[in-house]
Amino acid sequence: MGEASSHVVLFVCQHGAAKSVVAAQHMRRLAQARGVDLECLSAGVEPDDRLPADVIAGLAADGLEFVATKPQLVTGQLTERANHIVSFGCDLTEVAAPERVIVWNDVPAVSDGYAPARDAIVARVEPLLDTILSGVPRQ
């Protein structure tokens, strides 16, 4: 009768400008390739003023064109919207219950090389998407 309620995935990294952005963009791409409507957000504990040029260039080289917005602060309101929360090693206890947070501590820094960080992120995003889809009702 209607659409399934939109699922929201929130990725959080320290500055909301690299790992979380790469993860959100690749998750969105993978979900779209499977015909799934998934809202993918990124945020930071201490957000930067803008996205680094190497992140924008790396995503563009991956064929992911997007509007580079200013990184946003992770808030309780944002985490409440999310069905799934992934933290890249950030302490989110002030904005989310620990049992709601998936922690990915072992992803290399994007500033140390876009490709290795992207590959590590995508290797984790794909199984997460499979898990999410297993719980989403089909129409």
For 84-100, how does the pLDDT look when each residue is reduced to its tens digit (9 = 90+)? 999 999 999 999 999 99
pTM value is 0.92
User: Which CATH superfamily groups domain 7-134?
Assistant: Response regulator (3.40.50.2300)
Quick one: pLDDT at residue 102?
96
Q: Are strands 7-13 and 101-103 parallel, antiparallel or unpaired?
A: unpaired
Taking a C-beta distance cutoff of 8 angstroms, is the pair 40, 66 a contact?
A: no
Q: Reading across the β-sheet that carries 84-87, which strands appear in turn?
A: 38-44, 7-13, 84-87, 101-103
